Each structure stands twice: as C-alpha cells, then as structure tokens.
Amino acid sequence: MTSNRPQRTVLTVLIGLGLSHMVNDMLQSLLPALYPMLKGAYALSFWQIGLITLTNQVTSSLLQPVVGYYTDRHPKPYSLAFGMGFTLTGLLLLSTAATYPWLLAAAALVGVGSSIFHPESSRLARIASGGKHGLAQSMFQTGGNFGSSLGPLLAAFVVLPRGQGSVAWFSLVALAGIILLARIGRWYQSIGMPRPHVRRPAGDVSPPRAHVQRTLAILLVLVFSKYVYITSIVSYYMFFLIQRFGLSIESAQFHLFAFLGAVAAGTFMGGPIGDRFGRKPVILASIAGVLPFAMVLPYANLFWTTVLSVIIGLVLSSAFSAILVFAQELVPHRVGLVSGLFFGFAFGVAGAGAAALGVLADHTSITFVYKVCAFLPAVGLLAVWLPNTRPHYNASQP
C-alpha cells in the first residue's frame, strides 16, 4: 500500500488526539470521583469499591495488547470512534444502574472503550510525531491526565448536586469525542494507513532478544510501582482526607483535582525532557525521586498533605511518557502491541492494586494503606539497570 507517511510533526492531529484523550479519560475518571456517593447510596465496603476499579481496569487492560497487535497488522481508521461508543454506552448504564452488578457492568463497558482507544491512538501519535516521539506522547498523555483531573470537579459541580442520573449528560461529551475521532480516522485513511516498519541504517543490527526482554521487564516493574501508588491516591485519597481531616466530599474532590492537575503538568514535561536528555534520567528521577515525599505524606497536616500530593503528582507522572517511548524504541516494528501492552499492564496493575488496597483498608485503615504505599517509589531504583542510551536498533519513523 502506498503511504504518505508524514515527515514532519502534524500538530493538528496531535492536538486532536490530546483532546480526544482528554474526553476519554475525563469520562473514565467520573467513576472513581463518584465513589464516596456510591459507597453511601449502595452501602459498599472498600473491597466493593476496589472491585469496581478492578472491573474497569481489567476490561481495559486485557484487551489493549490484543487491540494493538491486531491494528499493527490490520489498521482500522475508525476503530477509535467505535471504541468511544462503548464508553458512551457505559455512561448511560452508569446513570441508570440500580444495583451493584449493574455498576460493575457499566464500569466494564467504560473499560472496553478505553482498551480500544489507547493503543491505536498512541500509535497514531507516533505516526504524526515527525520523529519527536517524546513530545508527541507527552501531548497525547497530557490530554488524558488533564481529562482525569476534570472528573472530580465535574462530579462535585454536576453529579453530586443532581444525583446519579445526571451522569447521562456526559454521553453528549462522548458523542463529541466520537465525531472528533472520526475526523482523525479520516486523516489516517488519507495518508494510506501506514503500518509500523523499521528502517535499518547500513550495518545496524537488532539488539539481543535477552537484552530487549530484560529491559522491557524492568520497565514493566517500574510501571507497576508508579501505577499502584497513583491508584492509591485516585481511588482512596478522598477517603483519606475525609477520615483524617474531616473534609466534606466536595472539598476532598478539589484536593484530588489538584493532584490530578499536577499529574497532567508532569506528564507534559516528561516527554520533551526525555527527548533532550534521554529516557533513563527522567525515569530514575521521576519514580525514585518521589520516595521522600511519599514517606512523609501519611504524617503531614492538611496544608503539607496538599503540597506533598501536588509534588508527588508532578514528579511521578513525568515517567510514563519516557517509559513508553523507551519501550517503543526497543520494539519499533510493534508500536501498537507495545503501547497496548504498557497501557494495558498499567491499567491492570492499577485495578488489582485498588482491589488489594481496598481489602487492606477494610482490615486496617486508610492511613495505614498510605504508610505501606509510601515504599513503592523505592522500586524506581531499578532504573539504574536500564541502558544509558537509546536502544541501538531504532526506527526513524513509526
């Protein structure tokens, strides 16, 4: 197939992907933002709250590598719009769910939409990057993280005053996302739907298979530590603030918004810094660098809890763009598969972590959960064993 693969950065497409990622993750983040309301309305335990997160994240994570593997070989220009349709359906179900099993079904549908969205949109971001892979991934992921930060605000201003049924209003946002993604699909079709391929310079050879596997394993462990810690805040930070400082639900949601806003800002910084200084320094400083702040957080007063959570969000979030681009450069001919694997693994461990932390909170306390999770960033020291330079076997284009 003839391809008009872009040789320059296509900013309009990157902005469109960032906006659609904002819509996708904003709608995804409505679910955890509603947990305090749902816990009271359905008399849920922390374990049941964690199971909602697990259901959402498992349906999202398990399908992502499959979607990425398939679209690497059989590009589907309108698959992103199709995936947003699952999210729309899940929102409508969430707005009308009357029992706990229906809440789980709604969480599952929203997760399926995310599983279709992430690997293919990440691959399109690389195609549109013009070689600025870190910048492209940061723009794409910043949109998602900014959208996630909006969830608590929307819950505070729209859903809490009007009740669970008002979630249906956000189906209009999902519909707008479908229209935007259809336009991006049309662009992808117009350039010939290029599939990832590798251009080897003369004398270039692929790295040893064992080297690739070892590096990918380290990167996945780093993703584990990052996302389990982040899910401890996304799923339980509001409960921690309410229990420890007596805040209202609305006030706790504003604090969660501050954390998620910092996550969005840190994500945007991580990619370009990695392009300039290398992926390894960003990854090491990002994950291991938050360790002292995480250790102090469970013991701080309200003011310093807010400050520390913003610092943690800002620093910790800068890692994922660098991790993902590092992995894509290791296996440049399987960008969709690698993207699906890393997004899927991130969501999967986040869901499993949320469920496990819910059980721990039921048997101990939310404060104890944060004391345990404070040690997770220490896993970031494994980044010392990552290669110091980009992998030798690289692709000039996706």
Average pLDDT for the chain? 83
Residues 6+ apart with CB under 8 A from 116: 63, 67, 79, 80, 82, 83, 86
* Domain count across the chain: 1
Average pLDDT over residues 161-182: 91
Residues 6+ apart with CB under 8 A from 201: none
CATH of the domain at 289: 1.20.1250.20
Tell me if 102 is assigned to some domain: yes
Tell me if 1 is assigned to some domain: no
Residue 148 near residue 263, CB atoms below 8 Å: yes
Residues 6+ apart with CB under 8 A from 194: 1, 3, 5, 75, 127, 398
| CA–CA dist 107, 54 (Å, integer) | 9
Residue 111 near residue 58, CB atoms below 8 Å: yes
Average pLDDT over residues 168-194: 90
Tell me if 397 is assigned to some domain: no
Residue 259 near residue 233, CB atoms below 8 Å: yes
Residues 6+ apart with CB under 8 A from 386: 215, 218, 219, 279, 280, 283, 284, 326
| Residue 225 φ/ψ, nearest 5 degrees | -65, -40
Return the amino acid letter for 11.
L
Tell me if 319 is assigned to some domain: yes
Hey, what are 120's tokens? 């293919």
| CA–CA dist 309, 30 (Å, integer) | 20
In this prediction, residue 195 carries a pLDDT of 59
Indicate the range of 63-77, 136-150, 175-189, 201-215 predicted with least confidence.
Answer: 201-215
Question: pLDDT exceeding 70 applies to what percent of the chain?
Answer: 92
Residue 12 near residue 200, CB atoms below 8 Å: no
Instruction: Identify which of 138-147, 218-227, 334-343 has the greatest average pLDDT.
Output: 218-227
Which residues constitute the domain of residue 18?
Answer: 11-385
Q: How far is CA 74 from CA 68, 78, 184, 194, in A?
A: 10, 12, 17, 10
In this prediction, residue 203 carries a pLDDT of 46
| CA–CA dist 20, 63 (Å, integer) | 20
CB neighbours of residue 277 within 10 Å: 12
In this prediction, residue 202 carries a pLDDT of 45
Average pLDDT over residues 161-171: 87
| CA–CA dist 394, 356 (Å, integer) | 39
In this prediction, residue 305 carries a pLDDT of 95
Question: pLDDT exceeding 90 applies to what percent of the chain?
Answer: 27
Cα 286 → chain centroid = 16
pLDDT at 321 over 70: yes
Average pLDDT over residues 101-107: 93
| Residue 206 φ/ψ, nearest 5 degrees | -75, 150
In this prediction, residue 205 carries a pLDDT of 53
Element (H, E) at 43: none
Instruction: Identify which of 168-182, 187-201, 308-322, 337-351 has the greatest average pLDDT.
Output: 168-182
37-66 pLDDT tens trace: 888 888 888 889 888 888 887 787 778 888
Tell me if 3 is assigned to some domain: no
Q: What SS3 class is residue 205?
A: coil
281-292 pLDDT tens trace: 888 888 888 999
Tell me if 156 is assigned to some domain: yes
Hey, what are 229's tokens? 């810690």
Q: Which residues of 355-394 are buried (b: 16+ CB within 10 A; e: fewer)?
A: bbbbebbeeeebeebbeebbebbebbebbeebbeeebebb
Tell me if 245 is assigned to some domain: yes
Tell me if 395 is assigned to some domain: no
Secondary structure (DSSP) of 304-320: HHHHHHHHHHHHHTTHH
In angstroms, the first-to-last Cα distance of the chain is 16
185-244 pLDDT tens trace: 999 888 877 755 444 444 445 667 788 889 999 999 998 988 889 888 888 898 899 999
Q: How far is CA 154 from CA 108, 120, 172, 199, in A?
A: 21, 27, 14, 46
In this prediction, residue 178 carries a pLDDT of 95
22-39 pLDDT tens trace: 999 888 888 877 888 888
In this prediction, residue 398 carries a pLDDT of 43
Report pTM. Answer: 0.68
Return the amino acid letter for 224.
F
In this prediction, residue 201 carries a pLDDT of 45
245-297 pLDDT tens trace: 999 988 988 898 889 888 878 877 777 777 777 788 888 888 888 999 999 99
